Amino acid sequence: MQLDGQLAVVTGAARGIGRAIARGLAEAGARVVLTDVHENEAADAVRGIADAGGEARSFRLDVSDAAACDALAEQVRREMGAISILVNNAGVIFPGRIHEEEAVENWNRTLAINVGGPFNMCRAFYPHLRETRGSVINLASIRSFVAAPNAAAYAASKGAVMQLTRALAVEWGADGIRVNAIAPGFIESTLVPDDQKTPEREAAIIARTPLRRQGQPDEIAGTAVYLASDAARYVSGTIIPVDGAYLAG
């Protein structure tokens, strides 16, 4: 599962799963562009990749800004060439119930980033991917399949990511572009605010997950490398849960 000579873009790559995926792609031989609104942390991730012998650059990007995504696609082509791997990882979650005062704002922002982001990036980088017959990897979630209280916007957004993945796999199949998604279970990351990580919540997650633990970000990276590689050259339109058997229980 080597990616030598390929160029990848990973959104939301400053922290957590995105950072681990960027590192994993670099370890497999890809040159990696890391994007995030947290530009200092993205730059730090680039230094870590470089220290390990990889090649990477970072750019500040708000994926909900379609014009900024278009501009990045043009800059990357001009300075680095056409990408063959696009990982749409950037995402947010704002826990809360639909009747609460901030629900409308949270709904709009969640969909703008979690759904609008992949749409904007796929649209911006489509010419690259068509040229290279490349691969798109979206980050869905177990919430693409099952819901929970306090997360209507997040669940709706991840259900949309699952269907966007399937729709683009069909739409772009004739171009030789593969489009898949990874659906992580509960991963130890900064996505969920610290004040939400109560002992009761953590115990409930472990009790519900057959492997009896939460996952680590680098346990998602391996699946991303596989999907980007020639080992998965006939895999498209697929959503792969990486969840410790949560959905099987």
Active site amino acids: 154
Give the closest residue to 139 by CA, choosing from 191, 80, 71.
191
Please count the other Cβ atoms lying within 10 Å of the Cβ belonging to residue 153.
Answer: 24
**Who contacts 21 (Cβ-Cβ below 8 Å, separation ≥6)?**
10, 13, 87, 89, 217, 220, 221, 224
Rounded-to-10 torsion of CA 227, 228, 233, 235: 30
Quick check: 60 and 112 in contact, CB under 8 A? no
**CA R_g for the chain:** 17
Quick check: 142 and 247 in contact, CB under 8 A? yes
